[in-house]
Amino acid sequence: MSTLGWITAASGVRVPQVIYGTAWKKERTSALVAQALAAGFRGIDTACQPKHYDEARVGEAIADALARGTLRREELYLQTKFTSVDGQDPRRIPYDPRASLAEQVEQSFARSLENLRTTYLDALVLHSPLATRAQTSEVWRAMQTLCDGQRVRQLGLSNCYDLRELRWLCEAHELAPSVLQNRFYADTGYDREIRAYCRERGILYQSFWTLSANPYLLAHATLRAIAAHHGATPAQILFRWLTLEGCVPLTGTQSVQHLRESLAIFAIELRDEERARIGALLR
């Protein structure tokens, strides 16, 4: 059974509990996004960063699904990112790098709307904090001006592993992020303190590298035993555990079978003691 679960952010925006990530898909981006949409995914994550994403091909797949009537725009959760100059390929920066930071945000946003063939974004995410708080604040204030409910419905932050920086961003600005998207792996202690803060603030924690960075977890006897009990894969159990913790995992799989397995997790009912045993693996 493949039934997509949804969760509502503090902003009031409904977000699918599993999202399809489009990084590093290159010329296959359009076909793979179409495949994910056909499988039942309704959340797409991308970035205005030609170095790692082909945002225009994401838009191509979405436009095709809309034209064929297999998807309505209001059924889709679409988020993209503003990536600062430091994260861009200097040969393919999608805005004027000589412009002010506020202008770079505006230009990147306009390019994203053009690439994605949409009039609004469900989330605009800052790809990572900038070198200084002053620069981060300038970019965040520019993003806030776009978040009027008509052009951008909510804001997010990515690649922030310092709780002090996340707390500062939340407390020093009019709008706090509704989404935090981080790499989920042992090197950061699985963001335990950050995830707790996100729960406290109503910030949706999105995990990426959830499977590829955690071969130890997926091979652990505890996870494998729980998976066998439910007739599931260890990956499904980890994804289901995360969703029950209020997290939103991303998957970038190119496998139709894995897409279906990701959506099937919502039929898995983990017992409290199973959830506790899985949580203990992350301590």
pLDDT score for 1: 42
pLDDT score for 2: 56
Token pair listed for 156: 């997010």
pLDDT score for 28: 98
- Three-class SS of residue 68? helix
pLDDT score for 3: 77
> Is 0.85 topped by the overall pTM?
yes
Which CATH number, 3.20.20.70, 3.20.20.100, 1.10.1660.10, 3.40.50.10070, labels domain 16-209+248-253?
3.20.20.100
pLDDT score for 283: 86
pLDDT score for 80: 99
- Residues in the chain predicted with pLDDT less than 70, given as ranges, are 1-2
pLDDT tens-digit profile of 200-240? 999 999 999 999 999 999 999 999 999 999 999 999 999 99
Structural domain boundaries of the chain? 16-209+248-253
pLDDT score for 32: 98
pLDDT score for 126: 99
Q: Which of 172, 173, 170 is nearest to 202 (CA)?
A: 170
Any bridge partners for residue 204, and if so which?
A: 179
Q: 3-state DSSP: the chain helix, strand, coil percent, rounded to 5?
A: 50, 15, 35
